[in-house]
Structure 1
C-alpha cells in the first residue's frame, strides 16, 4: 500500500504548465505586459515611495532580463508563478513600502579594496 502512495506523489508534484518553449515565452511576455500595465496602480498604491514610472519600468525590465538565460520549461513556469504572486502581493498591498524598496537596492557588487579580496576575485591589475 505504501508503494502506491509513493508512486502517486512524485507524479502529482511534477506539474508543468507550459507544453513547449513558445508557450512559456508567450506567458512570460504576457506577465511582462501585465506588470507594465499595472505600474500606474502600483505608483498610486505606494504613493509615499520616491519612485517614478521609469524607475519601476527599468526595474521590471532588469528582473526579466536577469532570468533571460533560463531555458528549462519547469524553471520558467516557476518564475512565472513567482512573478504572478509578486504582482498580486503588490496590488493587494500585502507588501509594504520597505518590501518594494528592497527591489531597488544597489545591485552591483562592490569592488574589493583589500589585497585578499582582489586576489580572490581574480583582479590582478593592481597587484604588483
Structure 2
C-alpha cells in the first residue's frame, strides 16, 4: 500500500495555515468601518463583526491544510473585490439573508413589525 504525497498550496503545516487565516480575519476586521461607509449598508459595526465571526466559526472545524489555504485564498479574493469596490451594495447585503434572520413569532411581535 502506497500513499500519495500531495503538494501544499501555500502552507506546509497547520500553524502556517492558521496564521494566514488569522491574517485574513484581521484584514476583514480592519476594513469593516470602510465597508459600512462606502457601501452604505444599514448595519452597524457590531453586526458586521458578528457576521465575520460567524463565517470564520463555520469553518473552524477544518483541519486539512490544503482546504484552509484554499479558503484563505478565496477570502483574500473576496476582500480584494470589496476594497476595489467591484462588488455592489447588494453583494454586501446578501450575507444577511432575510430567511436567516429570526422572524417574529407571537401576535404582538408580528403586529409591531408591520406588513410583510
TM-score class, shorter-chain normalisation, is 0.7 to 0.9
Structure 1 runs of 4+ aligned residues shifted over 3 Å read none
What is aligned with 2:20? 27
Q: How far apart, CA to CA, are the structure 2 residues paired with 1:95 and 1:54?
A: 21
- The Cα shift of 1:15 comes to 5.1
- The alignment's TM-score, normalised by the length of structure 2, stands at 0.76
What is aligned with 2:30? 37
Q: How far apart, CA to CA, are the structure 2 residues paired with 1:81 and 1:32?
A: 12
Structure number with bigger Rg: 1
Which of residues 35, 54, 79 in structure 2 aligns to 1:62?
A: 54
What is aligned with 1:97? 89
- The alignment's TM-score, normalised by the length of structure 1, stands at 0.69
Q: How far apart, CA to CA, are the structure 1 residues paired with 2:84 and 2:23?
A: 20
1:43 alignment partner, SS class: helix
Q: How far apart, CA to CA, are the structure 2 residues paired with 1:67 and 1:40?
A: 24
Q: How far apart, CA to CA, are the structure 1 residues paired with 2:8 and 2:65?
A: 11
Are 1:72 and 2:64 counterparts? yes
Give deviations 1:59-108, integer Å, cap 9, x for gaps.
Answer: 00000000001111110001000110111111111111111111111437
Gaps of 5+ in 1: 1-13, 109-128
Q: How far apart, CA to CA, are the structure 2 residues paired with 1:16 and 1:36?
A: 25
Over the aligned positions, Cα root-mean-square deviation in angstroms equals 1.7
